[in-house]
Chain A
Amino acid sequence: MSSPAVRVERVTKRFSGHTAVRDLSIEVPAGGIFGLLGPNGAGKSTTIRMIMDIIEPDEGTVSLFGSTERSRNLSAKVGYLPEERGLYKKMKVLDQLIFLGETKGISRSESRKRSNAWLEKLGIADWAVKKVEDLSKGMQQKVQFAGALLHDPELVILDEPFSGLDPVNSQVMKDVVVDIAKSGRTVLFSTHIMEQAERMCDRIVIIARGEKVVDGTVAQVKADFGGSFVALGFSHDKEKAERILADTTLIEKVDDYGATAEVKMATGADPEALLRALVQEGVGLKRFEVVEPSLQSIFIAKVGPDAAVARRSGGDGSSEEGILPDVILGAAEGAIHVVGGHS
């Protein structure tokens, strides 16, 4: 298992004057879950499309499993869930899955068997003979998910797999992803929801504006980021904490979520001093815990203004329509506009 599942080497991709990905190198080791993180419009989907050989990089190379073959020729070993979900709307669910299996090179009968098994596993077996257009969006996504995994790929590439899913379905998908990793296969997924990445990924790469900002295992990234962090949970009298949290000798930065907050202690400040101050002031505390920095805070610190823009416009993450304004302009100005090429 020496060769990495995916190796992206110094890749650059431009779309009519706008550079979507710049000199990006990523190595995804075989086995485990790898997170490709970044704000909307950072170049995640473009990177994934280049890995999938759907678009070709202008510069640099992509190789899978250390092979020199093009990704499409290795498609039997790769499962792909694109960011833009799409199925044949008029086709029946089972027929659709069988067809998707066949395009990956498994036989029709085998494909039928596996499709049924997957529909069972994802709890949508009752819908097998319904047309895709009659299904809810969440169910369609499950079908597509099944279609990507039908052929037991060694490498699974999921572009924003959890966007648009309710918590229950999200959980089902998460379990499937974890199972794949447990069986020794590789999962590469992109997301801009940090909590999810933090809980699931072994390694992450954060990219912004097409360039790599952070790379490493989650633990390593956190250690490198440094500093001491405290997670707070308030039960009552939160307003009394305002003054203490504003004290720059004690606290460097506050990430306020309302009922909870994550604070970065000022250099040399003692978390216990903070606890004392809060208790004295009469702030009702549900939680006080010295923690590692969350990926969220690392992300915001590293990516900065990009994330702010992304959050303001994207929000739910179900679509990448509200991407960075400059990127939209860049893409719209040029005559050619590759789908999602801005992200």
Chain B
Amino acid sequence: MNKIIAVIRREYTERVRTRAFILSTILLPVLIVFTSVVPALMMSSGDRTSRVALVDGTTNGVGEQALAALTTQKLSDKPGALPRFQLTRFDAVGRVAAVQDSLVAQTGFDKGSKADSWDGVIVVTDDAITSGKLNYYGNNVGSFESMGRIQSVFSRVFATSRLSKSGVDPALVMGAMTPADLQTTKVTDGKATGQSGQTSFFIAYIMGFILYLGIILYGQQTMTSVIEEKTSRIMEVLASSLTPFQMLLGKVVGVGLVGLTQMTIWGGSVFLVGSNRDKLASVFHVSADAIQSFPIPTMAPDLLAVFLVYFALGFLLYGALYAAIGSMVNTVQEAQQTAVFVTVVIMIGFFSVFALIKDPAGSLGVTMSFIPFFAPFVMPVRWSLASVPTSQLVLSLALMVIGLLACVWLAGRIYRTGILMYGKKPTFKELFHWIRVG
């Protein structure tokens, strides 16, 4: 037992100290902050009050109505939020082009470099009401939020104007056209979990991805680690004092813990970024609002437990198989070719997640939950999307453990012959002989 711990510790500390590990561990949180802040920074022009000139060439008061509607737009839904636009209307009936040109000439300067400059100029004419086409000139045309608001305000104003022109009561139509808003809530065992359908979907997808990536990346690390021990010829020293089982288990668990460490750091930083959005926003001088668009996934404790158990079991299973492959070959290239068999199985498991998201309780999902190779991908996803009967969970876990033991046994058999073999890759016949004779 102490020997296994020594192997695990060596595998873990040596791996955690590598530059690759430190870089990748730090880079991802940085990337998360970056991806959450940068779009916010980019959109930040839309998140302060914009000075907008409204060139009004309409004769039926559509300009005034739009002005009134735009003035009520706020930067966020919070109470006390700043108005989105600061508008000035220019009556330009008959001389639209001239007014427009003189205002556009004062638009798009950096704040402070020219006083009284405009962020944008909206041009609306009678023609626009019928054609629906109006123009906006500004330095903030990339602000989807502000452009969307302007567009929706004018759509409504135009519609009202067109309807009243045809003698229809606009209020009646607007009321009739109120869109349906589907509110989804996941129910487990007759109790609402408080998760909306969308978060469930999001979590299911993220989990599938993490499982896939984690198992592929770290599984292959156990493989390269075995090859390294073979090529550096330390294997013979180890083989004289450790049993193949100690070496195999120590290696897989050690690498698995490294993966878990990295994921914890990553997951933790996602959580920290998510829960400290406001602080982050003030550090980068962007509005807290813009940064809200970055989603933080939250996981119910039971889901987290299911996820971790299946991740651990799945990793041990695939890690052992990858280690066995590492022991059979001599170079990383050879290993990649052989590992394809395992990788394909993992991919099937991963892609089945997409099918499951549509129908989590279907027979495909249930069947795959009972196949140890796929259960690690399938079960957490099903758990997050639908209520899984406890009996299914128990059966799936039991089969998973049996499958795991079988794989470790098989891998151990291959491993103990493979680690001291140099030269040609074994054929299937030889491999079978290794497993049988050991």
Which residues of A come within 8 Å of B, CB atoms?
49, 52-55, 71-72, 75, 78, 80, 82, 84-91, 95, 99-100, 102-105, 107-108, 144, 147-148, 331-332, 335-339
Instruction: Report the minimal beta-carbon distance from A333 to chain B, rounded to whole angstroms.
Output: 10
Q: Which of B216-241 contact A (CB under 8 A)?
A: 228-229, 232-241
Q: Which residues of B contact A91 (CB under 8 A)?
A: 10, 14
In the complex, whether B101 has a CB less than 8 A from a CB of chain A is no
B window 176-217: CB within 8 A of A: none
Per-residue interface assignment for chain B, residues 36 to 67, with 1 indicating a CB less than 8 Å from any chain A CB and 0 otherwise? 00000000000000000000000000000000
Contact with A along B1-42 (1 / 0, CB 8 A): 011001100100110001000000000000000000000000
Instruction: Decide if A338 touches B6 in the complex (CB within 8 Å).
Output: no
Assembly CA distance A103 to B229 (angstroms)? 15
Q: Whole-angstrom distance between the alpha carbons of A337 and B421 in the complex? A: 6
Q: A260 to B13: give the CA distance in the assembly, Å.
A: 56
Of B270-278, B318-326, B423-431, the segment with at least 4 beta carbons within 8 Å of chain A is B423-431
* B421 pairs with A84, CB closer than 8 A: no
Pull 29 A–B residue pairs with CB atoms less than 8 Å apart, ordered by A: A52-B240, A53-B240, A71-B240, A72-B240, A80-B237, A82-B240, A84-B233, A86-B237, A87-B234, A88-B10, A88-B14, A88-B232, A89-B232, A95-B13, A99-B6, A102-B6, A103-B3, A103-B7, A103-B242, A108-B6, A335-B426, A335-B427, A335-B430, A336-B421, A336-B423, A336-B424, A339-B236, A339-B420, A339-B422
**How far, in whole Å, are A331 and B232 apart by their CA atoms in the complex?**
21
CB within 8 Å: A-B pair count: 93
| B contact residues around A144 at 8 Å (CB) | 237
Q: A54-B240, A82-B236 are in contact. List 11 more A-B contacts (CB 8 A).
A: A54-B420, A55-B420, A75-B241, A86-B232, A86-B233, A90-B14, A99-B6, A105-B2, A332-B423, A336-B423, A339-B421
Contact of A100 among B232, B237, B239 (CB under 8 A): B237
Does chain A have a CB within 8 A of B243? yes
Compute how far the CA of A105 lies from the CA of B423 in the bound complex, rounded to whole angstroms: 32
Chain B residues positioned under 8 Å from A336 (CB to CB): 421, 423-424, 426, 430
Q: How far is the CA of A134 from the CA of B14 in the complex (A)?
A: 16
Determine the residue in chain B with the shortest Cβ distance to A88.
B234
CB 8 Å contact bits of B408-428 with A (1 = contact, 0 = none): 000000000000111110110
> A102 — which chain B residues lie within 8 A by C-beta?
2-3, 6
B237: which of A82, A331, A337 is its contact (CB, 8 Å)? A82
Closest A residue to B234 by beta carbon equals A86
Q: Is the CB of B233 within 8 A of A72?
A: no
A86 to B232, CA, bound (A): 5
Known A-B contacts A99-B10, A336-B421, A336-B430; A105 and B236 likewise in contact (beta carbons under 8 Å): no
Chain B nearest CB, measured from A86 CB (Å)? 3
Nearest A residue to B242 by beta-carbon distance?
A103
| Cβ–Cβ < 8 Å partners of B241 in chain A | 72, 75, 80, 103-105
| A72 touching B423, Cβ below 8 Å | no
Binding site for A on B (CB under 8 A): 2-3, 6-7, 10, 13-14, 18, 228-229, 232-243, 420-424, 426-427, 430
Min CB–CB distance B436 → chain A (angstroms): 15
Alpha-carbon distance between A104 and B2 when the two chains are bound, in angstroms: 10
What residue in chain B is nearest A147 (Cβ atoms)? Answer: B237
7 residue pairs, one from A and one from B, having the closest CB atoms: A86-B233, A337-B423, A102-B6, A86-B234, A75-B241, A84-B233, A82-B236
Q: Which residue of chain B is the closest to A70 with respect to CB atoms?
A: B243
Across the interface, which residues of A come within 8 angstroms of B243, CB to CB? 72
CB-CB < 8 A to A84: which residues of B?
233, 236
Chain A residues with CB below 8 A from B7, complex form: 103
Shortest CB-to-CB span from B34 to chain A, Å, is 31
A341 to chain B, nearest CB (A): 9
A161 to chain B, nearest CB (A): 14
Q: Which residue of chain B is the closest to A106 with respect to CB atoms?
A: B2
Neighbouring B residues of A72 by C-beta, 8 Å: 240-243
B430 proximity list for chain A (CB < 8 A)? 335-336
Residues of B within 8 A of A104 (CB): 241
B6 pairs with A54, CB closer than 8 A:
no
Q: How far is B14's CA from A25's CA once the two chains are assembled, in angstroms?
A: 43
CB neighbours (8 Å) of A88 from chain B are 10, 14, 228-229, 232, 234
B9 to chain A, nearest CB (A): 8
Q: How far is the CB of B129 from chain A (nearest CB, A)?
A: 73
* CB nearest neighbor in B for A51: B240
Chain B nearest Cβ from A211, distance in angstroms: 24
A335 to B434, CA, bound (A): 13
Alpha-carbon gap, A119 to B378, bound state (A): 53
Shortest Cβ gap from B23 to chain A (Å): 16
Please report the C-alpha to C-alpha distance between residue A100 and residue B234 in the assembled complex, in whole angstroms: 10
Smallest CB–CB gap between B333 and chain A, Å?
19
In Å, the complex CA distance between A203 and B237 comes to 26
Residues on B with beta carbons closer than 8 Å to the beta carbon of A148: 237
**Minimum CB distance partner of B247 in chain A:** A103
> Residue among B232, B242, B426 with the most chain A CB within 10 A?
B232
Docked Cα-Cα span, A297 to B426, in Å, equals 43
> In the complex, A72→B18 CA distance in Å?
32
Cα distance, A339 to B418, chains bound together (Å) = 11
Contact, CB under 8 Å: A54 / B236: yes
A309 to chain B, nearest CB (A): 22
With contact pairs A82-B237, A100-B237, A102-B3 given, residues A335 and B424 touching in the complex (Cβ less than 8 Å): yes
Residues of B within 8 A of A55 (CB): 420
Q: With a CB–CB cut-off of 8 A, which chain A residues contact B420?
A: 54-55, 338-339
Closest A residue to B433 by CB, please name it.
Answer: A336
In whole angstroms, what is the CA distance A335 to B3 when docked?
33
Contacting residue for B3 out of A80, A90, A105, A338, CB 8 A:
A105
Chain B, residue nearest A55 (CB)? B420
B424's partner among A86, A89, A90, A337 (CB-CB below 8 A) is A337
